[in-house]
A and B are shown apart, each in its own frame.
Chain A
Amino acid sequence: MLKVENIVTRYGAIEALKGMSLEAQHGEVTCLLGPNGAGKTTTMFTIAGILSSHSGSITLDGNDLTHQSAPAIVRTGIALVPENRLVFPEMSVADNLAAGAYCRPRSEKTAIDQDLAQVFDRFPPLRKRREQLSGTLSGGEQQMLAIGRALMARPKILMMDEPSLGLAPLIVDEIFKIIQQLNQEGVTILLVEQNARMALKVAHKLYLLEQGAVTFEGSPTEMQQDELIQRAYLGVGAD
């Protein structure tokens, strides 16, 4: 399980994360909810090793990840699907997927090929556009590519930063179905989202992040029953 304890991350003099903690259990979908600027992406970056925390600790199944570099963290089994997809626009779908497997040793070549086949099975449109430049794909297809790319790392935990961002509602539905399916197949997912409705449908455990600290944690049912959250995030009217 991924344990994040009391992380403080700073941008210069500004504290973006003021001691936040969460736990993501294997086999579950854990969701970090919160408004813009709450620190959700900062949390993702800190876990992924792209940002360095000022204090606090991050452990995965007991291994300390706190100040490791991004390549090292990818190798321990955490893959990130970044906000806004961030595909390699001038490179083919195939090359993008190869990028995902970059940190895996050469000895795993057969396993990598297997994973590639699996990604194409899971996402048929990607197979169709295998040699196409990824910058020319539609938003939904790019999201699939980003997820597929992360899966190529055979991660223990898949971190997804706002997968619904900038996508049409129908596509968002599709993406979340994929998330559910992935989880049913056993992939552990740490999800960051602004879209509370969709998140409630797929998550097992939710954390609410506001201004750098966790203000609520619980199951979807608990969250739905909380009045404050209902009004602030679920659009239920005030009485």
Chain B
Amino acid sequence: MLNDYVLTIISNIGMISLIALSAYLLLVTGQISFGQQAFFGISAYAGAIATTLWGWPFWLALIFGSGLAGLAAGFIGLLTLRISGMYFSIATLAFAEMIRLSLFKLTYQIEIDGELVGPNGAEGFGEIRWIFDHDISVLEYTLLIYAVLMVVLVGMVLLERSRLGMIFRMLGSDALLTRAQGLNPVRYKITAAVIAGFIAGLGGTLYAHSFTYIEPQIFNVMLGVHSLAYGLIGGLGTVLGPLIGVAIDIGFLESIRIFQGYRMIVFGGLVAVMLIFMPRGILDEARVYWIKAVARRWFNA
């Protein structure tokens, strides 16, 4: 039952969830980013280079790739501090496209065992063989992906309950009011950007090693909008929101044959309709609050 095909879908859900969570975190702080795919891509390339060209152990490559992504995100966060709303969104879009186009120019190849390996511009970066070289099965790698995802989820749940998390939500609700409370939005915006970039980065390195081949075209605007849409559909009230969004898209739409080739039509329409009737998703803050209240009453009874 758990054949490779199903496992592939499950691992995809896991990795895409990471970039969805990344976009979600920024959404919660009130910033709509069309560009998280840039950090996904930076980490994919960096992590893959680390294992394939430099022979680093996987965990180190993961940290390296994600760290680089987080740093890049922080840098962009710094640059875009003074702009918000539509301008910020378009700026993230521009940045992401700049990264994607730069990857077309990235050629860094080393000869290993008589073959040239490494990113080669438009021809992509293949032979990312770490999993195979270390005899890791699809199942084991899927478990690894979900282990990472679990850690991130736990982290984000803790974040949600922490003061930092509350400040993030405050920023998203009313930036002016936050400033009036004596809190400097600068630190928090950048912190959010770095964390979000790091999370997207985790997904990126995992992705590169799972697919063993990456090319610039993968990290395009479509990926970015999808990551955004997952949170918008699933709900911005809880970390489960983006996960639900991913499950609906990859788990449901991708798998059901009727939708083959019509996925975008359905998904795009779904997003538009959600924005009309439930702009903050299925599990928005109000609904989550209600669910918690009901649960609390149940347990107290």
Are any A and B Cβ atoms less than 8 Å apart in their complex?
no
B-side interface residues toward A, CB under 8 Å?
Answer: none
